[in-house]
A and B are shown apart, each in its own frame.
Chain A
């Protein structure tokens, strides 16, 4: 897929770690997300029971995915809409372009959609002379900065207020240069004013979907700005871009997920807007699009069904795992080099991009387990990352030095007598060398350690040696 720098995760990370604005932005957002979720949980005693329900429901859907997708398709058609199946990201692009051309579209309103990012929809539109206008504030900010989202629900979370202000002043040159733009509400207001005009120019509106409801053929999106509603109601054509695992059986089931989604994501009880769309405008509707299309994207997902990565398909894209991930909070989302960052990306990206490209991601984790602890659908993310490491090890994709090191260590670990003799000697030597300072500030074979920290010297005789002596 185009634009992935996932294979350069380490280099990306070093660059991001040096970015002081990023550090400031992340420090600010972190407490907001983690504290918010905690409060929401504390207020809802049945939260954990709801998580179990949500997990079981997703498992049930994945077991019967073909059935629910077919039911969904029938009900979309019954309500006057059309369904398009896209095996790959390229297929999805082509379908979007065909629909746009059929109405001679020159401008498209876009609500936030990670599937849009996964398929590089904006690039495809621009390459064909169609203007894509992002209507979500965060997406709009990164669009004018020519960046990618760094978070799946808060695309511009990597930026400080001051950076956004600068970008607005540089872009909105028709506005008074002396205007005051310091507070977030003034930024939002300015974006609204600039964008609102464009809403009315677009022939096509593209949104994502948080859920697809099989029983009614509806798509559901949640937003906090209401921008999604405008992107989909004003233009003649509404296109919903969604991946196949978004389907849920009934509206009732969707509400189970909605109850855990916003709480896990931002700590809100509910998002500000929850919009349900079913088919195009009917004669009795006051407004709505003339055409309603749904593009169902596979892009490698059916290949995950029934494998050790099956559980990843439960993900409802709440972002809690990255909000609580100390690695994500250190390097930010751009270091991951593609659409999906953080723990969920560390499992999903190798599935979608290939482990050759995304092999770093499942390795760059301490397995601290905080992601699994907060995931509303209880995806065992560390376990799934470990499965990727196993696949890499089997395929000899693990870096040679690391592999040799582990095998050598394992050789000794399986021979306790030899191990105790060798380590006994080594610790005596290291203990003797480090006896004055109690630690080493540089060790040739442990540079990765001593680059940033001292290495405590061993006490000398090993426990095993001393224990043998004591008896």
Chain B
């Protein structure tokens, strides 16, 4: 497909906390030749309800997403977690409802996480951007284990001029975010994120990247609380060359 119509599932966290990730996503998709649209009828993918055991509300939200995103060539989200929710969990939710199961399945097949969509579907091999510095990369759990996203971001980051990637030991171990987990079991989550940022600091990188804003906010918040002086950004910002905005949790320069 030369110029697919792509619906952007912006994700609730990007919409509310870091719209610049949304715009970086739009730029990357447009550069790859996609016509991007943003369905108005979107809020969240429903994971907070799903992971709290509230199945009725999850289904209601899922139906709303399916209705809003049907009819596009693809749906793309700058998050492995939300893309995984739609592509792996929606079909299972409607297992006892053939009509919705079919609609969920159709949407699932056309839904992708941003970076893997660029490489695996659009065939992007390099980006034309520049970022001077040593970065390290954390593999967010859902993207890694539900969608097998591992090499794709590393490949594209390798094409960014000036960027040096330092591999993070235990990059595949959870950062302790886990949605509502991080507030419900704050003490345990804290130990997990502490372990994570200790390893981040040991890489000597000056910037930490990942593909999910929830994990990024968790790690950024902890790094800042500890005064580590490491910048945290969504991988899309760096790939799109849109790093003029302050990093996550940093004050604006003016």
Chain A residues within 8 Å of B, Cβ to Cβ: 10, 13-14, 17, 326-327, 330-331, 363-370, 372-373, 386, 388-394, 398, 402-403, 406-407, 409-410, 412-414, 416, 419-420, 423, 427, 435-439, 441, 446, 448-449, 451-459, 461-464, 466-467
Contact of B141 among A368, A406, A414 (CB under 8 A): A368
Q: Collect the chain B residues with CB atoms within 8 Å of residue A390's CB.
A: 53, 55
Residue-wise, chain B 41-67 has the 8 Å CB interface mask toward A (1 for contact) of: 111101011111111010011001000
Classify the interface of chain A: helix, strand, loop or mixed. Answer: helix
Q: Collect the chain B residues with CB atoms within 8 Å of residue A455's CB.
A: 217, 221, 249
B248 at the interface (CB under 8 A from A): yes
Contact of B54 among A14, A372, A406 (CB under 8 A): A406
Q: Is the CB of B17 within 8 A of A386?
A: no
Q: Collect the chain A residues with CB atoms within 8 Å of residue B48's CB.
A: 406, 409-410
CB interface residues, B 58-110, toward A, < 8 Å: 60-61, 64
B11: min CB distance to chain A, Å: 9
Q: Which of B38, B54, B178, B184 has the largest count of A CB atoms less than 10 A from its CB?
A: B54
Q: Is the CB of B193 within 8 A of A419?
A: no
Q: Is the CB of B50 within 8 A of A410?
A: no
A407: min CB distance to chain B, Å: 7
Q: Is the CB of B43 within 8 A of A412?
A: yes
Contacts A406-B54, A413-B61, A448-B186 hold; do A369 and B146 have CB atoms under 8 A apart? yes
Q: Is the CB of A367 within 8 A of B191?
A: no
Contacts A452-B222, A454-B224 hold; do A414 and B57 have CB atoms under 8 A apart? yes
Q: Is the CB of A373 within 8 A of B57?
A: no
Q: Collect the chain A residues with CB atoms within 8 Å of residue B183's CB.
A: 446, 448-449
Q: Which 9 A-B pairs have the closest CB atoms?
A: A366-B178, A448-B183, A453-B221, A389-B53, A393-B53, A456-B249, A368-B174, A463-B19, A410-B57
Q: Collect the chain B residues with CB atoms within 8 Å of residue A409's CB.
A: 48-49
Mind listing 18 A-B residue pairs with CB under 8 Å? A330-B188, A363-B185, A369-B142, A386-B51, A390-B55, A391-B53, A413-B46, A413-B49, A416-B40, A416-B64, A423-B16, A448-B184, A453-B193, A456-B221, A459-B17, A462-B19, A463-B23, A466-B23
Given contact pairs A406-B52, A439-B250, A462-B15, a sample of 5 additional A-B residue pairs in the complex whose CB atoms are under 8 Å apart: A14-B187, A368-B145, A370-B145, A372-B145, A455-B221
Expressed in whole angstroms, the Cα–Cα distance for A466 and B217 within the complex equals 21
Q: Collect the chain A residues with CB atoms within 8 Å of residue B200's CB.
A: none
Q: Is the CB of A463 within 8 A of B174?
A: no
Q: Which of B19, B42, B183, B248 has the largest count of A CB atoms less than 10 A from its CB?
A: B19
B16: min CB distance to chain A, Å: 5
B152 at the interface (CB under 8 A from A): no
Q: Is the CB of A453 within 8 A of B225?
A: yes
B165 at the interface (CB under 8 A from A): no
Contacts A369-B142, A392-B53 hold; do A413 and B184 have CB atoms under 8 A apart? no
CB interface residues, B 175-214, toward A, < 8 Å: 176-193, 195
Q: Is the CB of B186 within 8 A of A451?
A: yes
B149: min CB distance to chain A, Å: 13
Contact of A364 among B46, B64, B181, B250 (CB under 8 A): B181
Expressed in whole angstroms, the Cα–Cα distance for A435 and B246 within the complex equals 11
Chain B residue, CB-CB nearest to A406: B52
Contacts A330-B192, A414-B60 hold; do A456 and B220 have CB atoms under 8 A apart? yes
Q: How many A-B residue pairs have CB under 8 A?
A: 203
A338: min CB distance to chain B, Å: 18
Contacts A369-B146, A454-B221 hold; do A17 and B191 have CB atoms under 8 A apart? yes
Q: Is the CB of B217 within 8 A of A456?
A: yes
Expressed in whole angstroms, the Cα–Cα distance for A416 and B49 within the complex equals 16
Q: Collect the chain B residues with CB atoms within 8 Å of residue A459's CB.
A: 17-20, 245
Q: Is the CB of A366 within 8 A of B181?
A: yes
Contacts A391-B53, A393-B55 hold; do A452 and B190 have CB atoms under 8 A apart? yes
Q: Collect the chain B residues with CB atoms within 8 Å of residue A437's CB.
A: 251
Expressed in whole angstroms, the Cα–Cα distance for A453 and B225 within the complex equals 5
A303: min CB distance to chain B, Å: 20
Q: Collect the chain B residues with CB atoms within 8 Å of residue A413's CB.
A: 12, 43-44, 46, 49, 57, 61
A454: min CB distance to chain B, Å: 4
Chain B residue, CB-CB nearest to A364: B185
Q: Collect the chain B residues with CB atoms within 8 Å of residue A14's CB.
A: 187
Chain A residue, CB-CB nearest to B20: A459
Contacts A370-B173, A413-B43, A454-B221 hold; do A393 and B54 have CB atoms under 8 A apart? yes
Chain A residue, CB-CB nearest to B178: A366
Expressed in whole angstroms, the Cα–Cα distance for A413 and B174 within the complex equals 27
Expressed in whole angstroms, the Cα–Cα distance for A458 and B174 within the complex equals 24
Expressed in whole angstroms, the Cα–Cα distance for A451 and B218 within the complex equals 12
Contact of B174 among A370, A407, A466 (CB under 8 A): A370
Q: Collect the chain A residues with CB atoms within 8 Å of residue B18's CB.
A: 456, 458-459
B103: min CB distance to chain A, Å: 17
Q: Is the CB of B52 within 8 A of A389?
A: yes
Residue-wise, chain B 1-38 has the 8 Å CB interface mask toward A (1 for contact) of: 00000000010101111111011000000000000001
